[in-house]
Amino acid sequence: MTTPVIEAKALTKRYGSQVAVDRLDLTINKGEVFGLLGPNGAGKTTTILMILGLTEPTGGTIATVGFDPLHQPLEVKRRVGYLPDSVGFYDNMTGRDNLRYTARLGGIPRIAVDSRITTALERVDLVAAAERPVATYSRGMRQRLGIAEIIMRRVDVAILDEPTNGLDPQSTQEFLELIRSLKAEGMTVILSSHLLDLVQSICDRVALFSNGKIGVMGKVTDLMRDVLGATTVIQLDAEGFDTAKLEGIAGIERITRLADGSWRIDASRDVRGEVARRVIEAGANLERLSLGMATLQDVYTRFFEGKRHAA
């Protein structure tokens, strides 16, 4: 049985005449990694602020780990960690002292502070840099120190807003492993990111925000079927071939001309055999016929294409 840690019902936020979040219904369960996706201004950040109790809803309700963020902010802050795009630490203080200061503010028992800090620093591989001023830290080290704070506090929910921006590929992979380890320990992770391949690799479910609403939500494979109608991608390169001759092949959902002159075929199954036969029967030169899988980037692109066309 799943246990909700975030429950929003008809959650709404207006700034004057502008609606930032529009009657949002959202449930995020314990132990899942949940992705919040969408263009800037879609409502993701405002939703995060309401989850944290940092802005007041105009309407609807929000419960964070069973508490009202607006009226029980201390209870929420004890149980939720927030890692923004730009992590704020005191540059003139060491990494360890920054964590010690946060521990004191968070009411962690003094007898437990040092052991918790050391354990957290070990988890994020910052022990060797713990006594250096944070001003000397790279962006990746600052992000890891932010995760160390979350680990030290032993929160139930971690909200990570663009946590891998500016990180090199190696640092990004290390960060993903940290997130996986938090999930394995039962922590709920809410991830907002524009790096869709990263989101696809780690999130259990995702929600695509548009104009303050969730347009689609679910597992990535389910969204592929719902938005694309397909999960299989075939790339066809056949000189002199008219793709109209592929009409009638069951499973083909869409055919798109790519910039290099080849064709992308979105399908619900592997139709390479039928495609190859039609190409050969047409007397065309088959140069490439490769099989791949649809991605979250495809879902995102198609979904917002549809929004633009509707507008």
Q: Answer with the one of 164, 192, 218 that is the final residue of a domain.
A: 218
Number of domains in the chain: 2
Q: Domain containing 28 — which CATH number? A: 3.40.50.300
Q: Residues 6 or more apart from 308 whose CB is under 8 A from it?
A: none
Tokens of 298: 């495809």
Q: Domain containing 243 — which CATH number? A: 3.30.70.100
Would you say the pTM of this structure is higher than 0.85? yes
* Partners of residue 283 on adjacent β-strands: none
Q: Residues 6 or more apart from 197 whose CB is under 8 A from it?
A: 295, 296, 297
The reply to whether 145 and 183 lie within a common domain is yes
pLDDT of residue 309: 55
The reply to whether 57 and 105 lie within a common domain is yes
Query: Which one, of 280, 236, 233, lies nearest residue 252 by Cα?
Result: 233
The reply to whether 214 and 264 lie within a common domain is no
The reply to whether 89 and 199 lie within a common domain is yes
The reply to whether 187 and 203 lie within a common domain is yes
The reply to whether 193 and 306 lie within a common domain is no
The reply to whether 35 and 142 lie within a common domain is yes
pLDDT of residue 283: 93
The reply to whether 141 and 197 lie within a common domain is yes
Q: Answer with the one of 218, 235, 266 that is the final residue of a domain.
A: 218
**In terms of residue numbers, what domain contains 288?**
225-310
Q: Answer with the one of 200, 218, 236 that is the final residue of a domain.
A: 218
Q: 141-147 long-range contacts, Cβ below 8 Å, gap at least 24?
A: 141/95, 142/87, 142/89, 143/83, 143/87, 143/167, 143/171, 143/175, 144/174, 144/175, 144/178, 145/87, 145/89, 145/95, 145/98, 145/99, 146/83, 146/87, 146/89, 147/83, 147/123, 147/175, 147/178, 147/182
The reply to whether 211 and 103 lie within a common domain is yes
The reply to whether 173 and 304 lie within a common domain is no
pLDDT of residue 308: 65
Q: DSSP assignment, residue 185?
A: T
Question: How would you write the pLDDT of the chain (311 residues) with one tens digit per residue?
Answer: 678 999 999 999 999 999 999 999 999 999 999 999 999 889 999 999 999 999 999 999 999 999 999 999 999 999 999 988 777 899 999 999 999 999 988 888 889 999 999 999 999 999 999 999 999 998 888 989 999 999 999 999 999 998 887 778 888 888 888 899 999 999 999 999 888 988 999 999 999 999 999 999 999 989 988 888 878 999 999 988 999 999 999 999 999 999 999 999 999 899 999 999 999 999 999 999 999 988 999 999 989 886 665 54
pLDDT of residue 2: 73
The reply to whether 145 and 234 lie within a common domain is no
The reply to whether 123 and 177 lie within a common domain is yes
